[in-house]
Structure 1
């Protein structure tokens, strides 16, 4: 059953609805405990500073995952600037609006085990350093990129920015091992700094790099990951026309990073089929 705040209707003049003027977080909750909660709150705080939207009281946010009950759930909450202002000019004293929902969640262990197929997207992400890293509500580029394919066997799309640099997948971060070194794209111009990515950067020798898509072809192993799904090894990468350009055999090299990531999410660290 999906749980949501009963009175949470968003009026037409809400700035999040009208302009994407807001932030959101999507959090894995296990038995009422939010995973990577500190990382989610840190990113929300960064976003609130960038957009100038006051945060709700800490206790208002902290009680949200407690309502999930037993089992796995996904908590999604959206913080908008609220209503008011004149056109694009926001109010100097905003009254933020917080809406949320909790929904049961089942991960996809077959993707942990066998890996996934992804493809390059034609769409290029706009470079805007002010918004880089935060999870704001303007996600039209990701929506357009996701419309580029309908094949259910393709799990994700790989995105570059307008300068040709690797950035992310449509809803996951990218990681790879190349020449024995773990790498992930630097996100100073665009992209979402995922909470699982942040946690791995703090714990591992994971290097942020500015590279083009050729880095994936050169990699010994590639992963797609976020704080909801965990890490999916990449078994096949296609170009934007659907033609395979690299395949990988999923093995021990892939499992090592999965073990580190899944320990943070209380997911299985054994991947026997």
Structure 2
């Protein structure tokens, strides 16, 4: 059974020693579940944690939902014990599970969003790159950079000036007729919707320096819960606008991404 609370000596609380997954549930069914399990398994391998008991996960998924759309959050910690940073010889991982009703932002699907470039630069740590570990302080600090509700997300670049992700979403762009997303081999989170779009060959990986970000043909932020938000404005953190984009043509990324999540597809009527 999943734990209902976290004691003060839990290593996830003390050190961020653990992992989490945030899963969209539609009519009680998890979306992109195989991708979430694969990322969780990879995170467990990297951190040296046993995978959660399959029966506990199955029991949670079988529980009737309270809403048509829900967000299931799984938090897996190493549990208690050990001495300081030294992990216990026989860890007893702790699994916490929560579910809440969810309503996506249709307006952001339709009208797009304004985002800003963050001042914070992501550091490189390949052993943690891609997985969804509990220590997200870089993202927390980046999200503290703005409080304007008109700004939907912040874009993060690494210490080399390469675009990586948004604070809680992956980033995609179009250039020369191709859809791209940055690699996340040195830092950042490998989102499950991103993984599915890569597997479907809707997008491919490429590096992009923030200096030329304003030159791309279109820009999106997306994740497996919120869906795909087209970006219409990119703001400079010191004030002013770095770029604007008009929505033209059929939105292939939104259509394909939303198909995977059961959301409505592109909101444009033009042919591709």
Task: Tell whether the structures are fold-level matches, with TM greater than 0.5.
Answer: yes
Q: How does 1:16-165 map to 2 (within 5 A)?
A: 16-69=12-65, 70-165=67-162
Number of residues paired by the alignment? 268
Cα distance in 2 between the residues matched to 1:243 and 1:84: 50
Compare 69-78 and 152-161 and name the one that shifted more. Answer: 69-78
What is the Cα deviation at residue 211 of structure 1? 2.1
Q: Is 1:265 equivalent to 2:261 in the alignment?
A: yes
Cα distance in 2 between the residues matched to 1:118 and 1:62: 38
Q: CA RMSD in A?
A: 1.6
TM-score by length of 2: 0.95
Q: Structure 1 residue runs of 4+, over 3 Å off?
A: none
Residue matched to 1:210 = 207
Gaps of 5+ in 1: none
TM-score by length of 1: 0.95
Give the secondary structure class of the aligned counterpart of 2:188. coil
Cα distance in 1 between the residues matched to 2:70 and 2:91: 31
Cα distance in 1 between the residues matched to 2:211 and 2:247: 20
Residue matched to 1:199 = 196
What is the Cα deviation at residue 205 of structure 1? 4.4
What is the Cα deviation at residue 163 of structure 1? 1.4
What is the Cα deviation at residue 214 of structure 1? 3.1
Indicate which of 236, 240, 252 corresponds to 1:239: 236
What is the Cα deviation at residue 152 of structure 1? 0.5
Gaps of 5+ in 2: none
Cα distance in 1 between the residues matched to 2:62 and 2:267: 30
1:6-28 C-alpha deviation (Å, 9 max, x unpaired): x6110011000000000000000
